[in-house]
Structures are given as structure tokens and as C-alpha cells.
Chains A and B, each alone.
Chain A
């Protein structure tokens, strides 16, 4: 049995967990390569033209996995009513099952209805042909390992806050910041300009969610809460904030606008779609860094 895992969207939240989980169960996996033009083209062909760029890329990744027995596509509804996700996270499974002939390995997280991640994983036992005990063991072990690496990553990210030089917080969903075609070129050009890039997803989630209340009291999108909470957690140590979102991201369109209005820091709002030119974005980044440097002097 080979399980295909698209390197997009959910992967950047759960990829580590999945790979270790299947490894613990001795199940073969295939992860798609980082997004390339071929994948983007595949996605563009399948997607509705109004879908967001990240969703188009996700569909492209799934299409790339056509030779796998199963493709792993979870559905993540909410982590309680005040921690909801974007509606795309609710519908990807159903959209994919209507487009692709492959079998889909699916679990559902819906804490409002008491469907936790653990329960979801246990339900995979039928498709994976494993006993409940095996799955439980593999899941708990993977969870432990993931917690350690995540802690390490957060530590490294926060360490950057105390380094010299310009420090810019990149506020973006991880599936955008780490994507080869969305965030990678932006991060590379920032690093070329000797800027320390701090990632918004590598902070303590719990703390970030509490801090986010200072910027938006009634926000109920979990991932956006963590994003803007990271601004409050690093506020005193950063020189500027870059908001990066994929066109036309629903939650970002409201939340980022609100935060930019409230924030007393230099900000740059980058919106990427599959037609945006690299050089245009490059120029905007360079001038933003120039402004920050001039301000510091």
C-alpha cells in the first residue's frame, strides 16, 4: 500500500505528524515535490478560476499523485466554535472526491461535535488494515516526536528576535510562506538583503491566540488568530511586518486589513496570484527594506 501526501495546505501543519505516523506503522508514503510550474498548471486546469492560489496549488499536488492507492486528505472544520478554519479546509475533501478517481484517506476534526484528531486517526484503522492498538501506539509516538521538533523550531525562530540587523516578521499561513512558488522567492530575496525573517507560525500557539485578542476581540479563525498573535508577541523587537497572502484569501482579506489599520509599525501587504510578476514583488520588498533601514539610521 502506498499513501500519497500532497505537499501543500494541510501538509505544513501536519506533514511531520503524518510522515512519522505512517513510518511507525511501516506504511510506504509518497510526498509530492515542492510546487513547480507543472503542478501549478495541473491545478489551474482543475480548479475554479475564483479559487485561491493555495487551493489551486493543492489540487495540482493531488493530481500529481495519480499512481497512489490512497491520497491523504483530512477535513478540518474547527477546534471549538471560536477556533474555526477557512471554509476551504471544510470542503477540500468533497471537492477532491468529486474530481479525482483515487481512493481518499480521510479523517475529520470537528471539536464542536467532539471529533478530535485522535478519534479521527483511530477511524483510519479500517482503511489502513491495522488494529486499534497499533494505530494508538503509532499516533502517540508520532505526536511525541513532533512536539519535540516543533519546540526546537520555535526556539530557533524566537532566537532570531535577539540578533542584530533588520528583523521582519512574515505574517502568513505556513502553506504560503514555505511554498516553493509563493513564499520561497520572497524569503530568499529578504535574506539576500541581510534581513532576519521571523515566521508567524513558529510561536507558541496558545500564547499567540491569547495575545491576538489585543488586536481583534472577536476573531474566530484559528490560524489567523495565531498569525496576528505573533505580531503582539514580537512587537517590541521587530522593525516591520510583511503580510503575505494568496489571492483571494477569504479570512486574510478582512483580518489583515483590520490589523494594518490598527498597527503602529511599518507594514507591507503582499498578495500573490499565479500571474503576479516576480520583479514587481522584488521591487516592493527592496523599497520596503530601504525604508526600514533609513528609519533605523
Chain B
């Protein structure tokens, strides 16, 4: 039987993951469907009631992929509850009479590399570790470049003169990246597109800066936050966001210590998942005089619930506007839009008042 691999949808990372899998195992990689309202409904139908939303989203995607013929599922896993998703998801999908191999990459916050290599060898007996490492290196850099450019896009997309110029170029870049032959060709491509992004003409408007912090899946997957970033951009807001794959995979270990130090007036310990990071980031945003902080999470995300209490306190102390979202599978997009508009209005009004005070 042909092996067809599928994995959950997170941001644009399907491109580098597909690239990696295509080169290291001789198996087909499914074109992962985007998360739609049907995906969410499918996921919630078969999930326990009060599990956090990423469980429902990823389960929905898996069911759709299995229907499309996938028979190898890869789940990322991680710390907190995320590392334990796989055992229940496997059971639920088995009870739905699907046949598949399930690979979980991170559990207990750790990766068992030997086990993963073993599982890959089962899919492709000729799986070579050396080749795997080479392409892993390229993919790592691809993710790094993507995140770097994404950061630039996020900060400027609200000010493009020609509509959709950023998104169109990004699509072109991602397609070009996925056809990369080797490390140097990737680097060339990165320089080329970086230059092109810098040349996109921007409106010369005063801008408000807002920082987005929160739970990792909701922050990184646009459908999980109902495209909050694009909504904010349409109001002319420059966005700074901390969490991306580069941060989680390569920087977290080092930076967590920095954030803990920054937040030492408020917290003494790590509070699970990214809670301590977000508290540190909130203080950083306040100190850097941003115009607002947006804290988002999926409902029932335990670590962020605790953090949210402290983030509120910090924002009160620094007199910083704070908008909180707890996204669920049935959050209404219109409600989100209204709250965003009100938030932006409030920031604008504060700026006006400041000006008046200054003139007097």
C-alpha cells in the first residue's frame, strides 16, 4: 500500500514540512486542506467537550486527511496537554474505523529521536539519517527565513499602497521556496525576496503599534484566531508578534530565562507552556511604549488562564490598553471584528488626548 503522509495545519509551515518530507522519505505527502468551518465542526463533534481547541482543530484536519486517503499521521505534540493529544486522538480515530500509523514527535516536552527514526524506517525502509539531517538543516533555515520575512510583513501589511501586494508576493515566495534545490539556492531566493518585500511601496502614515502575545497554536494558526492579524492590519496597525516556529524550536530555552528575569517582580517560577514568556513579553511591550497589547488563547488553555490574571495587573500598572480573546470553535467573527474596532478607536482617542494635553 502506498504511504500518504498528513500533518496538522499551522500557519504556513505546511510548505517547509512538505518540503522536508518529500526529500527524506519516499512517500507521498498530502496537500493539507485549509481549516474551514467544516473542519472545525468535524473536530468538535468527535472531541471531548472541554478539551482545548487545538485538539479539535487538529482532529478535524486528521479526519479530512484520512478521508482524502492519508494513512500516516504526524502530530507535533509538546509540553502541557499538547504532548498527550496523540493517545486520545489515536483512539478516537480508531473507533471511527480508520487505519493509519500515528507518529507523535514531542511528548513530556521531550523528543525521543531513536523512536522517531524507527517509525520513519517503517514507512520507508531506505530512510537515511544523513540525508535526513541535510534536509533538516535546509528546512530549519527555510523556517528561519520565513519567520524573519513574516515579521516584516506583519509590521507593514497595513500600509501597502496597492492592495494584496504583500500576500501575493508571499505566496510567490513560498512556492519558490518549496522548489529549493540546496542550501545556497535557498539563500539566494531569500535575499531576492527580502529585497522585493523591502521595495513594496508603503503609505506614509503615522502608525499604531500593537503586540500580540498568547497561546502558541492560536497565535500561529490564522484560522484559530479568525484572522485577527489581517483584521488589525486593515485598521492600519503595525503588529509585533513573538511566537513563531523559530522561537519555539530554537530560541525558547535561552529566552525564557530572559523573560523570567524581566518578570521577576511578578513571578518567581515558570507557569507551564508559554505563560511565563508571555508575562515577560507583556512587560517588554509596556516598556517599549507600544500602543496596545492583545492577549489571545484558545478556551480552557490552563497556563494562559493563570497568566492572563497577571497580564491584566501589569497592563493596569503601566496604563496599557489590553484586549483579551479566548477563541473557541464557535466564536463569532463579527464579534471579534467589533471588539477590534472598539479597541483601535480607543487607542486613537488616547493618542488624540495625549496630543491635546501636550499642546496645552
**Which residues in A have some Cβ–Cβ distance to B below 8 Å?**
48, 50-52, 75, 77, 81-82, 84, 86-88, 90-91, 93-95, 97-99, 106, 108, 216-221, 247-251, 253-258, 261-262, 271
Contacts known (A250-B302, A253-B50, A254-B88); A98 close to B310, Cβ less than 8 A: yes
Closest to B275 in A: A91
Please report which residues of chain B, range 330-351, place their CB below 8 angstroms from some CB of chain A when the two chains form the complex. Answer: none
| Alpha-carbon distance between A218 and B103 when the two chains are bound, in angstroms | 13
Asked if A261 and B108 sit within 8 Å, CB to CB, the answer is no
Contact of A253 among B48, B110, B303, B309 (CB under 8 A): B48
- Chain A residues contacting B49 (CB-CB under 8 Å) are 253
In the complex, the answer to whether A94 meets B300 with C-beta atoms within 8 Å is no
Q: How far is the CA of A274 from the CA of B85 in the complex (A)?
A: 27
Task: Evaluate contact between A98 and B313: CB separation under 8 angstroms.
Answer: yes
Most chain A CB atoms below 10 A, which of B49, B87, B104, B326: B87
Q: Are B306 and A251 in contact (CB under 8 A)?
A: no
**Residues of A with C-beta under 8 A to B273:** 87
Give the residue of A95, A216, A249 whose beta carbon is less than 8 angstroms from that of B306. A95
A249–B109 alpha-carbon span in the complex (Å) = 20
**CB-based contact B91/A261 at 8 Å:** yes
User: B80 CB to closest chain A CB, in angstroms?
Assistant: 6
A95 with B309: CB separation less than 8 A: yes
| CB-nearest residue of chain A to B265 | A98
User: Is B84's CB under 8 angstroms from A221's CB?
Assistant: yes
Question: What's the Cα separation between A7 and B336 when bound, in Å?
Answer: 40
Query: Do the beta carbons of A218 and B87 come within 8 Å of each other?
Result: yes
The interface residues of chain A lying within 8 Å CB-to-CB of B270 are 90
| Contact with B84, one of A50, A75, A93, A220 (Cβ below 8 angstroms) | A220
B180: interface (CB < 8 Å): no
Chain B positions within 8 Å of A, measured between CB atoms, are 48-52, 55, 80-81, 83-88, 91-92, 95, 104, 107-110, 266-273, 275, 299-300, 302-303, 305-310, 313, 326
- Besides A93-B269, A108-B269, A220-B107, 10 more A-B contacts (Cβ < 8 Å) are A81-B109, A94-B271, A98-B266, A216-B87, A220-B84, A247-B50, A253-B81, A254-B51, A254-B55, A254-B87
Partner of B271, one of A52, A91, A258: A91
Chain B residues whose CB sits within 8 angstroms of the CB of A261 once the complex forms: 91-92, 95
Partner of B309, one of A48, A77, A254: A48
Q: How far is the CB of B95 from chain A (nearest CB, A)?
A: 6
Partner of A81, one of B81, B108, B268, B313: B108
The answer to whether residues A257 and B271 also contact, given A50-B300, A87-B303 and a CB cut-off of 8 A, is no
Cross-interface CB contact of A87 among B55, B104, B271, cutoff 8 Å: B271
A98 to chain B, nearest CB (A): 5
Within 8 Å by CB of A94, from B83, B109, B110, B268, lies B268
A240 and B108 CA atoms in complex are apart in Å by 31
Q: How far is the CB of B78 from chain A (nearest CB, A)?
A: 12
14 CB < 8 A contacts A-B = A48-B306, A81-B110, A84-B108, A87-B272, A87-B306, A93-B268, A94-B268, A94-B271, A98-B266, A98-B310, A217-B87, A248-B300, A253-B48, A254-B85
Contacting B302 at CB < 8 Å: which of A87, A93, A218?
A87
| Cβ-defined contact, A90 with B272, below 8 A | yes
**Most interface-central of B55, B84, B303, B310 (chain A CB within 10 A):** B84
Closest residue on chain B to residue A59 by CB atoms: B309
Question: Nearest chain B CB to A115's CB is how many angstroms away?
Answer: 11
Which residues does chain B contribute within 8 Å of A250, judged by CB atoms? 52, 80-81, 300, 302
State the CA gap A279–B269 with chains docked (Å): 42
Instruction: Tell me, in angstroms, the Cα distance from A232 to B25 when the chains sit together.
Output: 40
Q: Are B81 and A254 in contact (CB under 8 A)?
A: yes
* CB-CB under 8 A for A75 and B269, given A250-B300, A258-B91: yes
Cβ–Cβ < 8 Å partners of A87 in chain B: 80, 271-273, 275, 302-303, 306
Chain A positions within 8 Å of B299 at CB level: 50
Q: Note all chain A residues with C-beta closer than 8 A to B268.
A: 93-94, 97, 106
A50 to B272, CA, bound (A): 17
Expressed in whole angstroms, the minimum distance between the Cβ of A242 and any Cβ of chain B is 17
Docked Cα-Cα span, A99 to B308, in Å, equals 13
User: CB-CB < 8 A to A255: which residues of B?
Assistant: 84
B335 nearest CB across to chain A (Å) = 17
State the CA gap A182–B89 with chains docked (Å): 29
| B87 lies within 8 A of A90 (CB) | no
In the complex, residue of chain A having the shortest beta-carbon distance to the beta carbon of B307? A91
Chain B CB within 10 A, most for which of A95, A247, A256, A262 = A95
| B81 and A251 contact, CB distance less than 8 A | yes
Known contacts A50-B299, A218-B87; A254 and B107 CB within 8 A of each other: no
Complex Cα distance A75/B271, Å? 10
The CA of A9 and the CA of B299, in the complex, are separated in Å by 23
List, in ascending order, chain B residues with CB within 8 A of A219's CB: 84, 87
Q: Are A98 and B309 in contact (CB under 8 A)?
A: yes
Most A CB contacts (10 A, CB to CB) among B55, B81, B86, B275 go to B81
Give the distance in Å from the alpha carbon of A50 to the alpha carbon of B52 in the complex: 12
A221 to B108, alpha carbons, bound, how many Å? 9
A91 touches B81 (CB 8 A): no
Given A50-B299, A87-B271: A95 and B310 interface contact (C-beta under 8 Å): yes
